[in-house]
Amino acid sequence: MRRILLLNKILIIFIFIIIFCSCDSNTYSDNAVTEIKIGVFLYTKDDTFISTLQSNLEKAARNKEISDNLKIVINSFDGKGNQTVQNEQISKCLEQNYDVLCINLVDRTVAAPIVDKAKTADIPIVFFNREPVKEDIERWEKVYYVGADAKNSGEKQGEIVVDMYNSGKYNLDKNGDGKIQYVMLEGEQGHQDTLLRTEYAIKTITNAGIQLEKLATETANWQRSQGASKTSQFIEQFGDSIELVLSNNDDMALGAIDAFASENKKIPVILGVDCTTPAVEELRNGRLSGTVFGDFKGQAKSIIDLSCALALGKNPKEYVELENGRYVMHPYISVTMENLYKIDLK
Ligand code: BGC
Ligand code: CA
């Protein structure tokens, strides 16, 4: 009888252990991996720099999943260059269970109503690449910006010209009149990068004592095809007197190369900004003289780190380096064939 009682006790204890263990393993599988749902809104998918940034966001998210034991779901929306379309996409996501919205505005001047709606829904925002004004960022404490200092990119592009000129290896002043005759291809008007890249590229060159003569400036809206058609017009108007093409980004610079190539003209010094894959290819071919690396990899990592910190209610300061409380700004690097090997693009 005593033996049976003892056996019963052991059996009961054994059953308890099994139940306990199975409960524990259930709780473990439910709680161990926290899922973070991120909405990414692109001004258009049809932009080389933005699509590069987007693929780097995916890579950064996969790395973060491993390092922080998280599950990160990214849903991307193409604004198709239309703010009304983007507003609808954002409004829909604000009604769903998103943890954070990462927004590349179509029109960077209309952030205020978006911030107000996000505040009501208590869903934090990380704006990127197209920078809203400071007042809009400061409307709510859960609004941040990840990008780069536009002025710095202009300076870096200007420095390439200064270095080329001073090295004496490049004959920038082909007609020997003591000035560099240049044409400028500008991005979208009103974009922070357009204004400041143009201004500071020029300032950096002239402040170094190099004389410039502007032949023409045209906007080509960041696009390769427009860069090509605007450059064809320049070629028609100024022919061989173009000694330098400054472009606010790589795609328009590649358009300029297309135009010179299709007219069978000798390609002058052409400089872009971004360091996208097709631009690196032309750099290697010697048809693009230089570009400026707009750290898409670092920016993508910051967007993901910041988003996860906000989603988990952690202090962003511990995950990203903040300037003025709400800005993560990545430095630019001048790139030519001489230092291309040092740039970590993968
Ligand atoms: C990039 C451009 C891009 C634009 C889009 C800029 O920072 O240099 O290539 O088209 O952002 O907003
Ligand atoms: Ca000249």
Q: DSSP letters of 120-166?
A: HHT--EEEESSPPPHHHHTTSTTEEEEEE-HHHHHHHHHHHHHHHHH
- In sequence order, which residues have a C-beta less than 8 Å from that of residue 26 and are 6 or more positions away? none
Mean predicted confidence (pLDDT) in 173-190: 97
Contact 290, 160 (CB under 8 A): yes
Predicted confidence (pLDDT) at residue 101 exceeds the cutoff of 80: yes
Exposed e or buried b per residue across 285-300, where buried means at least 16 C-beta atoms within 10 angstroms of its C-beta? eebbbbbbbbbbbbbb
User: What is the rounded distance in angstroms from the CA atom of residue 130 to the CA atom of residue 192?
Assistant: 7
> pLDDT value at position 9?
63
User: What is the rounded distance in angstroms from the CA atom of residue 91 to the CA atom of residue 113?
Assistant: 11
Q: Is the pTM of this model over 0.85?
A: yes
Exposed e or buried b per residue across 95-116, where buried means at least 16 C-beta atoms within 10 angstroms of its C-beta? eeebbbbbbbbbbbeebeebbe
Helix (H) or strand (E) holding 301: helix 296-311
- Identify the CATH assignment for 151-293 out of 3.10.20.590, 3.40.50.2300, 1.20.1440.230, 2.30.30.140: 3.40.50.2300
**Residue 75 CB: number of other CB atoms within 10 A?**
13
151 Cα to the center of ligand 1, angstroms: 14
Domain boundaries, the chain: 35-141+296-330, 151-293
Predicted confidence (pLDDT) at residue 130 exceeds the cutoff of 70: yes
In terms of C-beta density within 10 A (0-12 exposed, 13-18 middle, 19 or more buried), how is residue 208 classed?
middle
> pLDDT value at position 223?
98
> pLDDT value at position 244?
98
Domains 35-141+296-330 and 151-293 share a fold: yes
Choice from 153, 246, 274, 329 to test ligand 1 binding pocket (greatest atom count within 8 A of CB): 274
Confidence of residue 168 (pLDDT cuts 50, 70, 90): confident
> pLDDT value at position 10?
52
Per-residue pLDDT tens over the stretch 14-45: 444 444 444 443 333 445 789 999 999 999 99
Per-residue pLDDT tens over the stretch 203-213: 999 999 999 99
Give me the amino acid identity at 14.
Answer: F
Confidence of residue 170 (pLDDT cuts 50, 70, 90): confident
Predicted confidence (pLDDT) at residue 63 exceeds the cutoff of 70: yes
Predicted confidence (pLDDT) at residue 1 exceeds the cutoff of 60: no
Mean predicted confidence (pLDDT) in 248-266: 98
Mean predicted confidence (pLDDT) in 309-329: 97
Distance of CA 166 to the CA centre of its chain: 31
> pLDDT value at position 22?
43
Mean predicted confidence (pLDDT) in 329-343: 97
> pLDDT value at position 24?
41
312 Cα to the center of ligand 1, angstroms: 30
Mean predicted confidence (pLDDT) in 51-65: 98
Ligand 1 atom nearest to CA at 250: 9
Report residue 237 as tokens. 């108007």
274 within ligand 1 shell (Cβ under 6 A): yes
Of 156, 193, 148, give the one whose Cα is nearest residue 328. 148
- Identify the CATH assignment for 35-141+296-330 out of 3.40.50.2300, 3.30.2180.10, 3.40.109.10, 3.50.30.10: 3.40.50.2300
Ligand 1 atom nearest to CA at 294: 8
Confidence of residue 171 (pLDDT cuts 50, 70, 90): confident
> pLDDT value at position 345?
87
Work out the end-to-end distance of the chain between its first and last CA atoms, rounded to an integer number of angstroms: 73
222 within ligand 1 shell (Cβ under 6 A): yes
Ligand 1 atom nearest to CA at 43: 12
User: What is the rounded distance in angstroms from the CA atom of residue 152 to the CA atom of residue 252?
Assistant: 19
Mean pLDDT of the chain: 93
Sheet strands side by side (includes 269-271): 212-219, 180-186, 244-247, 269-271
Q: Pairing mode, if any, of strands 180-186 and 212-219?
A: parallel
Mean predicted confidence (pLDDT) in 120-146: 98
Of 216, 285, 277, 221, give the one whose Cα is nearest residue 245. 216
> pLDDT value at position 73?
98
